[in-house]
Amino acid sequence: MAVVSTPVAPEASLAKSMLAAYLAQLAQNPLRTKALTSGTLSGLQELTASKLAGMPKSKNPDDFILGVDKRIVQMTLYGLLVSGPLAHALFVSVTARFLGKEGPLWKIAQILSSQLINSPIQNATYILAMALFAGARTKAQIAAAFRQSYMPMMKTSWTISPLAMIFAQKFLSPNLWVPFFNLVAFLFGTYVNTSVKKARLAQMKREREQREQREKRDD
């Protein structure tokens, strides 16, 4: 009886080859690979959020670096130099300690360690960076940014991250965890960034309408 092989689509074959190459680099050079991945995704996240929120293009030349939106450059550098290395350090010091350990108690401990150690540190670092990028320079300005954003971000993180961890524990091999969590972080970050930009546009619109109403009254 002849065995008929099922042809593999070129796109699927290319995707598998790219994933294999990425996983090989991740195993050989984990810090560099995570930093480059984080930098790329952070810049793409900023670009995507700006498009989804409908942010108008700035006409100020100071808002661009070599023709590229300054915030995209800032986010790329943040991912490359801060977010990626930090995520790697937290993974090595916390998450990796549980890899290979079986049983529900170990899985629960892994989820709790991620939520009580990794998420608070990463979210605090993100908010600090965003505040500095937005022009905050004093302790009061930075504290205001944390009061406004930290707990809402933590609540969202505490909802999404455990579900992502449970999914990874149940359905994915450990070598696929980093690409999977990168995807989750990208989607989560894009959602948060888009929401912030939409709120900023709405605030700008309200301030413009209030200014126009005052001008009419003055006339």
Provide the phi-psi class of 59: left if phi over 0, else alpha when psi is between -120 and 50, else beta. alpha
Of the candidates 78, 85, 96, 79, the residue with the CA atom closest to the CA atom of residue 29: 85
Q: Where are the domains of the chain?
A: 33-51+63-195
Global pTM?
A: 0.82
For residues 125 and 87, the answer to whether their CB atoms sit within 8 Å is no
Q: How many CA atoms lie within 13 A of 2 on its CB side?
A: 3
Judge whether residue 3 has pLDDT over 50: no
Judge whether residue 1 has pLDDT over 50: no
Judge whether residue 101 has pLDDT over 80: no
User: In this predicted model, what pLDDT tens digit does every residue of 169-201 receive, in sequence order?
Assistant: 889 988 898 899 999 989 988 988 888 888 878
Judge whether residue 212 has pLDDT over 70: yes
Instruction: Specify the higher pLDDT residue, 116 or 216.
Output: 116
User: In this predicted model, what pLDDT tens digit does every residue of 120-163 receive, in sequence order?
Assistant: 999 999 999 988 988 888 999 999 989 988 998 899 889 998 89
Distance CA 158, CA 64 (A): 35
Judge whether residue 94 has pLDDT over 60: yes
pLDDT band with cut points at 50, 70 and 90 for residue 7 = low
Burial 54-69 (b: 16+ CB within 10 A, else e): ebeeeeeeeeeeeeeb
pLDDT of residue 203: 80
* Beta bridge partners of residue 64, listed in sequence order: 69
Helix (H, G, I), strand (E, B) or coil at 99: coil
Judge whether residue 61 has pLDDT over 70: yes
* Tokens found for residue 142: 């930075």
